[in-house]
């Protein structure tokens, strides 16, 4: 578990912290319904997975084509949460 995840858990609002059923990252808030990717009624997913994985699946995209995207999102989230990867936005400004 990363430092960021521990900080979120130890926060005084930790009652509102959930784990995304798709990528496994912790998030706060209401969450999203991950159906049809996850068919459990009690499951929730984060906003990023809801936008980039669940919505395309609801529109009829083949979920098997979305699985590599899930893996890459998970890698990016964990790498940036651990501080191992520094996201540089300077190139985007040019």
**Which tens digits make up the pLDDT trace of 1-59?**
677 666 665 655 556 788 888 888 888 888 999 999 899 999 999 888 898 889 989 99
Instruction: Tell me the percentage of the chain whose pLDDT exceeds 70.
Output: 69
Q: Which residue matches tokens 């496994």?
A: 24
- What's the confidence (pLDDT) of residue 10? 61
- pTM, two decimal places: 0.61
Q: Supply the pLDDT for residue 35.
A: 92
Per-residue pLDDT tens digits for 50-91: 988 899 899 988 877 777 777 777 777 777 665 554 544 444
């Amino acid at each position: 578990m990363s430092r960021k995840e521990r900080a979120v858990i130890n926060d005084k609002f930790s009652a509102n912290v959930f784990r995304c059923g798709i990528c496994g990252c912790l998030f706060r808030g209401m969450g999203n319904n991950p159906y049809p990717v996850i068919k459990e009624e009690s499951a929730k997913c984060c906003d990023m997975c809801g936008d980039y994985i669940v919505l395309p699946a609801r529109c009829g995209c083949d979920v098997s084509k979305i699985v590599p995207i899930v893996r890459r999102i998970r890698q990016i989230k964990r790498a940036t949460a651990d501080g191992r990867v520094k996201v540089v936005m300077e190139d985007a400004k040019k």
